[in-house]
Amino acid sequence: MEYLRGNDSNPEEIQIEENIQKVSVGYANEAILTIEGNVFAKGKDINPNNPKEFINISSLIEDTNDRIIEDVVSGNNSIYLLTSNQNAYGIGSNEYGQLGFEYKTLPKTEKPILMMKNVSKIFSGDSSDCVFLLNSNQELFGCGENFYGQLGLGESRRKETYIRKLTKIQNIPKGKIIDIKPSFYYSIMLIENENENENPKRKLYSCGDYLFNGLGKNRNENTNEFTEIKSSLFENDDNILDFSVGNSHTLILTSNSKLIGFGYNYSGQLGTGNTNSQSIPIQIELPKLRFNEDISNYHLSCGTFNSFIYYSPPSFSNLEEDLIKLFQRKEFCDISFKTKNGEIIKAHKLILKYRLNQNQNQNQNQNEKLQEIISKKSIKESNQIFEMIYSNN
């Protein structure tokens, strides 16, 4: 597949000979995760000799049995990998201890190094030099920059600017950690609280520096532990579907179709129609949405000084369509035929059978003949019929 990135204001085509699943971009790096489980990345701390060249960093993992990647997360100057064996690796800069090692021992690495085992999720941000690792027991660990208290380690460790070893974060609010989005000054956590009598309720918590009103609280003081962002806008029957954090602003989308935001607004990134920053959550007029569908199909993305809301429906609407798209991939096709125009079409006999069953214009005798041809894969004498079925004509 192709991946386009900007280069001197002009798109540049990057050829990746695999199917792209995810793109993760940090301040000084880019990473591409493929469906095949590889990660191709570039950056000055990833490949110093040729920082503009994409290399397969997953192939550099020392353990050859641990090279299938399930997720990739970019930090400011580092990239984090989560393997299918639930191991977390880091590569790139370790200037602030964000790889979990002493800087003097390891200032940076051009090969992924094992940070922790038994990891279920990795959280970092494109402008962040800290990282959070969540294990299968819902225990949270963090390392990296803590100058603003953005790791949530508490008052006792507030004066420690850099946390160079993975440290367990205490006093985490009860519930299931869904997501953590660290920015340059603070971090915001989404937790789901299960209640026997109610649907799971999601709440936001923040920690770090109040600078630029990023904590969502009406007080000018740092918070060194994760504390709840409270607002009457989060009604009992409402729930948080999605949230996104920029450099110093946050947007939230709820199940009742509310758009809520707070933080720095110098460039109008909150979408309020003005440039007034907001210290506490306020409701923002939701743009007129093009598609009149479930609000859960919409998502948020905040940049440094901009914001986006975008429509992303489920990939497939039903199982039949899912299977069709799967079988249409060339590597799964088991028959091919030539059209009247000379085009070679590769397909799968199961797809042809499915379309045959949907075709109401064929009589019973034709159907029986086609079923026999498909079963035997005898396609030389039936190109015309195959083409008709395949094209739904």
DSSP-assigned letters across all residues of 105-124: T-SEEEEEEEEESSEEEEE-
How deeply is 382 buried, as exposed, middle or buried, from its count of CB atoms within 10 A (0-12, 13-18, 19+)?
middle
Predicted local confidence at residue 304, as pLDDT: 86
Taking the CA atoms of the chain, what radius of gyration do you get in angstroms? 25
Which parts of the chain sit beneath pLDDT 50?
A: 1-4, 316-317, 360-362, 377-382, 392-393
CATH 2.130.10.30 residue ranges for the chain: 2-311
* Topology (CATH level 3) of domain 2-311: Methylamine Dehydrogenase; Chain H (2.130.10)
Q: Please, what's the b/e burial string for 121-141 (b: 16 or more CB within 10 A of its CB; e: otherwise)?
A: bbbbbbbbbbbbbbbeeeebb
Eight-class DSSP state of 45:
T
Q: Are 387 and 343 in contact (CB under 8 A)?
A: no
Q: Which residues, including other chains, have CB under 8 Å from residue 166's CB and lie 6 or more apart?
A: 100, 115, 116, 133, 141, 142, 143
Predicted local confidence at residue 14, as pLDDT: 80
Q: What would the two tokens of residue 107 be? A: 């200032």
Q: What would the two tokens of residue 22 be? A: 């995810």
Please tell me the distance from the alpha carbon of residue 188 to that of residue 225, in angstroms, as a whole number.
Answer: 11
**Considering the entire predicted model, what is its pTM?**
0.77
Residue 3 backbone phi and psi in degrees, to 5 = -130, 125
Please tell me the distance from the alpha carbon of residue 120 to that of residue 136, in angstroms, as a whole number.
Answer: 5
Predicted local confidence at residue 235, as pLDDT: 79
Q: How far is CA 318 from CA 76, 107, 186, 322, in A?
A: 39, 50, 41, 6
Q: How far is CA 271 from CA 9, 248, 274, in A?
A: 25, 14, 8
Q: Are 99 and 106 in contact (CB under 8 A)?
A: yes
Predicted local confidence at residue 87, as pLDDT: 98
Predicted local confidence at residue 236, as pLDDT: 76
Eight-class DSSP state of 16:
-
Residue 206's nearest CA partner among 241, 245, 170 is 245
**Residue carrying structure tokens 């059978």:** 353
pLDDT, one tens digit per residue, over 314-339 is 654 455 555 555 555 555 566 666 66
Please tell me the distance from the alpha carbon of residue 324 to that of residue 88, in angstroms, as a whole number.
Answer: 35
The DSSP bridge pattern shows strands 55-56 and 69-74 to be unpaired
Please tell me the distance from the alpha carbon of residue 130 to that of residue 78, in angstroms, as a whole number.
Answer: 9
The DSSP bridge pattern shows strands 176-182 and 307-311 to be unpaired
Please tell me the distance from the alpha carbon of residue 204 to that of residue 72, in angstroms, as a whole number.
Answer: 24
Q: Are 336 and 330 in contact (CB under 8 A)?
A: no
